[in-house]
Structure 1
Amino acid sequence: MTNMTVTLSATLATNEDIERRRRAGARVLHLAFGEAGLPVHPALRDRLVAASGNNGYGPVAGASGLRDAAAGYWTRRGLPTDPDQVVSGPGSKSLLYGLLLALGGDVVLTVPSWVSYAAQAALVGSRPILVPPPVGEGGAPDPDRLVSAVLHARAQGRTVRSVVVTLPDNPTGRLATPGTIARLADVARELDLVIISDEIYRDLLHDPAPPYTSPAELAPERTVITTGLSKSLALGGWRIGVARLPDGAHDLRARLLAVASEIWSAPAAPVQEAATYAFTDPPELVERIERSRRLHGAVARAAHAAFTEIGASVPAPQGGFYLYPDLSHLRLGGSAEITRVLLDDHGIGVLPGHAFGDDPSAARVRVAVSLLYGETAEERQAALDSDDPLHLPWISAGLDHLSMGLKELSLVRRDASRERRQALMPTVCHG
């Protein structure tokens, strides 16, 4: 068992801290919480209400209608799926935890990666093996470095059984290239690893033109996909997710269902009814996701410009609503220090990179732009409907707050550097 102490999720803890500050009257720009920040589509709300009388437990794997709909969802995306391959749960987060329990052994994670992967690994007694992505990418470990890390771990007697990828990625907002995924599929076969592909942001690629490659296309016999509706349709509070298991993975399915039966019994029945409708890709929800994708991309690009303007190194976002800027050039400390300065001195709430497994001495932070869309349902709907959301007063004000705070931060660094240079100048004596 690992000795790692599991604490409250960094995202949830920071969200609560920022909300406390706001209630106390502080002006804080909330860029720390990965919530989609959009209203529920009326068609989904209507279906949830209509199903509210359904209060039975239902099958552990999920209602047959939901599994049929999820199978269709993946089939339309080029992955023919039988409903028996589908297991649903109260959010993809629960399914990921169940999978780690069912698979056992140690797991390879990309560094940086979503905060809950390593925490869940610790909860199941697994020691994560952290491997960075190829330069400029995110969400998938560098395949060649993965080979070295796994062989080294196994030489020490460790059992390594799985690798987790996120496509596109949280925290970097980047998408692993088809070449990286192809090489990863080959490596997973060579090392007999199960690939857990977290694809909850798949439908939120800012530009759908670049090729999207799921490991399940190239290594279908050893890839599990998880997804849900919390990001694409902003249903985080409804807690519903689905997993696509490899065809014929009867033992894994049985173990996952055994875990599910002891932890969550079955997903909430009314929510399953609404999710069944969502996974059929009805036109009004396809349009909603398209509008969401455009909004996320526009605001993420504007935030990206604010960071690059002060000289930060930040990969251009490709999906979801995240950025991962590196502010090390300011020399104001590591990720914890820069996060504290941004919040305390400039009213900008972000998450430190070390929460994602990154080097604490590097001043990298995770920025989520999705709570800039408005404080009310009316403002958030207006953001969705707008062809030019950056000029809506509340979004413009949030981006101005970010830009001004970053410029002030940069000036602090410049003034500090000037003071240090002056302190180091030799004293000139006149006599």
Structure 2
Amino acid sequence: MELKTSYLAKHVRTLQPSGIRKFFDATAGLTDVISLGVGEPDFVTPWNVREAAILSLEDGYTSYTANAGLLELRVEISNYIDNNYCVNYDPESEITVTVGASEAIDIALRAILDPGDEVLVVEPCFVSYAPLVTLAGGVPVIVESMKDNDFKVLPEQLEAAVTDRTKAIMICSPNNPTGSMLSKAEMERIADIAKKHDLLVLSDEIYAELVYDELYTSFAAIEGMQERTILVSGFSKDLAMTGWRLGFVCAPKEITEGMLKIHQYAIMCASTMAQHAGLEGLKNGRRDVAEMRKSYRQRRNYIVQSLNEMGLKCYKPEGAFYTFPNIESTGMDSETFATRLLKAERVVVVPGNAFGASGEGHVRCSYATSMAQLQEAMTRMRRFVEKL
């Protein structure tokens, strides 16, 4: 017997499925496909990190941890953030270990939003941001960053979007899907708006370790912002631990207590084995991160040059592992371009409109794949564009 549609909550019924997943479903059954669409490192989790998880099993660490996570891991997270970004968080009251950065964003929004509260969501952005605001009872207010500014949001755009219902601003830097990164000066201007209107900033810093040409500044490190910043990060991107589902969130004590309540009821705690692995990664994984970052930098330089040479204008991203080339010269919208490229040359890219309306006219190409695969993908894309 089929369930009636009316059994679903209205806000779930109207929720659109992920634009990324919808497109990838179309690749099922195809062979000889090169994917530049997956936001996942092609590296395997470093051996010492995997071994730490294995040893934790052998030693019998198979029970729950504290709801907030292993204290030893939270201490190491605190040390890591302090050493790298000069921000100090109390591991006992301001850090929660989560099931990936995705859960961290979810519980942060559910902890701070009352029904009808507005959150400024800067697009293009990861596909889950606006839906998670909606699921938390809030109202996502889209602020479109523009290609002419390398998809960096202007402070005056945020200022214009603030109302008496605005509660927070969501920022991802380096950005998925564009790879753009806010400078310290640009963050300071956004921070001024947050202070002026008494707003929180939810800062997704999952790509902070994958920055190629300058030092990274955490939003929480901006003067006067730690007390109004919810810092989200994790282990998926820099340590190639996507499948481990391990993240963390740092915030002022009151907000952390609220998030922990939700985490307790919904999750209990992150995987014990994954936490032991993450602990090893923080302690002894920096050399692996540096090697992966070096490889990504080389791939970034290659793919940006290749895309520009074939006539798809592409600026050089400062971080993450994505390029966001402009495909308007082909006369196609982003979904048509991606669909035809897949059909003709078996190369997967993600339509830019999957990340918001301002992403239209672009496609996301991930360079988190081997150089050999990138070279073949660029050969196929060049052939496709030339035929047009």
Question: In the comparison of the two structures, how many residue pairs are matched?
Answer: 369
The CA deviation at 1:87 is 0.7
Contact 1:110 1:164 (8 Å CA) reproduced: yes
Per-residue deviation, 1:399: 3.0
State which of 142, 151, 157 in structure 2 corresponds to 1:130: 142
Aligned residue identity for 1:303: I
Q: Distance in 2 between matches of 1:286 and 1:40?
A: 12
Match of 1:358 in 2: 357
Offset of 1:401 from its aligned partner? 2.8
Look up the match of 1:399: 374
Residue in 2 that maps onto 1:244: 250
Tell whether the 8 Å contact from 2:144 to 2:358 is kept in structure 1 after alignment: no
In structure 1, C-alpha distance between the alignment counterparts of 2:131 and 2:265, rounded to whole Å: 20
CA distance in 2, matches of 1:165, 1:267: 25
Aligned to 1:387: none
Match of 1:172 among 158, 164, 178: 178
What's the offset of the Cα at 1:227? 0.8
Unaligned runs of 5+ in 2: 1-9
For 2:25 and 2:340, the matched residues in 1 are separated by: 18
Counterpart of 1:35? Answer: 40
1:113 lines up with 2:140 in the alignment: no
TM-score, with structure 2 as normaliser = 0.90
Cα separation, 2, equivalents of 1:129 and 1:412 = 40
Partner of 1:21: 29
Aligned counterpart in structure 2 of residue 409 of structure 1, from 371, 384, 387:
384
**Is the alpha carbon distance of 1:315 and 1:5 closer, same or farther for their aligned partners in structure 2, counting shifts above 3 Å?**
farther
> What CA distance in whole angstroms lies between the structure 2 residues aligned with 1:327 and 1:35?
23
What is the distance in 2 between the residues matched to 1:311 and 1:349?
A: 18
Contact 2:250 2:256 in 1 (8 A): no
Is 1:368 the counterpart of 2:343? The answer is no
User: Which 10-residue stretch deviates more, 140-149 or 398-407?
Assistant: 398-407
**Cα deviation code 1:289-315 (max 9, x no counterpart):** 011001111112211112101222212
Residue 90 (structure 2) aligned to one of 82, 85, 95: 82
* Residue matched to 2:5: none
Structure 1 counterpart of 2:154, one-letter code:
D
- Structure 1 match to 2:106: 97
- Indicate yes or no: 2:231 matched with 1:225: yes
Structure 1 residues 186-265: aligned runs within 5 Å: 186-207=192-213, 210-218=214-222, 219-246=225-252, 249-250=253-254, 252-265=255-268
Q: In the superposition, relative to structure 1, how do residues 306 and 4 fare at CA in structure 2: closer, same or farther (>3 Å)?
A: farther
Structure 2 CA distance for aligned equivalents of residues 271 and 69 of structure 1: 15
Match of 1:55 in 2: 62
What RMSD over aligned residues (CA atoms) do the two structures have, in Å?
A: 1.9
> Following TM superposition, by how much is the alpha carbon of 1:271 offset from its aligned partner in structure 2, in angstroms?
1.1
Secondary structure at the aligned position of 2:149 is classed as coil
State the distance in 2 between where 1:163 and 1:346 align. Answer: 40
Q: Check whether the contact 2:19–2:355 (CA below 8 A) recurs between aligned residues.
A: no
How do 1:310-321 and structure 2 match up within 5 A? 310-321=310-321
Find the partner of 1:163 among 169, 182, 194. Answer: 169
Note the C-alpha offset of 1:128: 1.3
Does the CA contact (< 8 Å) of 2:325 and 2:364 recur in 1?
A: yes
- Counterpart contact for 2:18–2:354, Cα < 8 Å: no
Equivalent residue, structure 2, for 1:419: none
Displacement of 1:368: 0.8
SS at match of 1:409: helix
In 1, the alpha carbon distance for the partners of 2:274 and 2:382 equals 45
CA shift digits 1:8-54 (9 cap, x unpaired): 43334444543x234xxx22110111011101211111110111222
Secondary structure at the aligned position of 2:201 is classed as strand
- The answer to whether the Cα contact below 8 Å between 2:180 and 2:318 also exists between their aligned partners in 1 is yes
Contact 1:132 1:142 in 2 (8 A): no
C-alpha distance in 1 between matches for 2:206 and 2:176: 10
Unaligned runs of 5+ in 1: 374-394, 414-431
Q: CA deviation at 1:258?
A: 1.3
Per-residue deviation, 1:66:
1.1
> 8 Å contact 1:12–1:33 — kept in the other structure?
no
Deviations 1:240-292 (A, max 9, x none): 1111113xx32x12221111112111111111112122223x2xx11110110
Q: Is the 8 A contact 2:170 2:201 kept in 1?
A: yes
The residue identity in structure 2 corresponding to 1:315 is Y
Shift of 1:150: 1.4
Give 1:228 shift. Answer: 0.7
Report the residue type matching 2:364 in the other structure.
R
Distance 1:348 1:215 in 2: 36
Give how far 1:3 is off.
7.5
Given that 1:108 and 1:129 are in contact with CA atoms closer than 8 Å, whether structure 2 keeps it comes out as yes
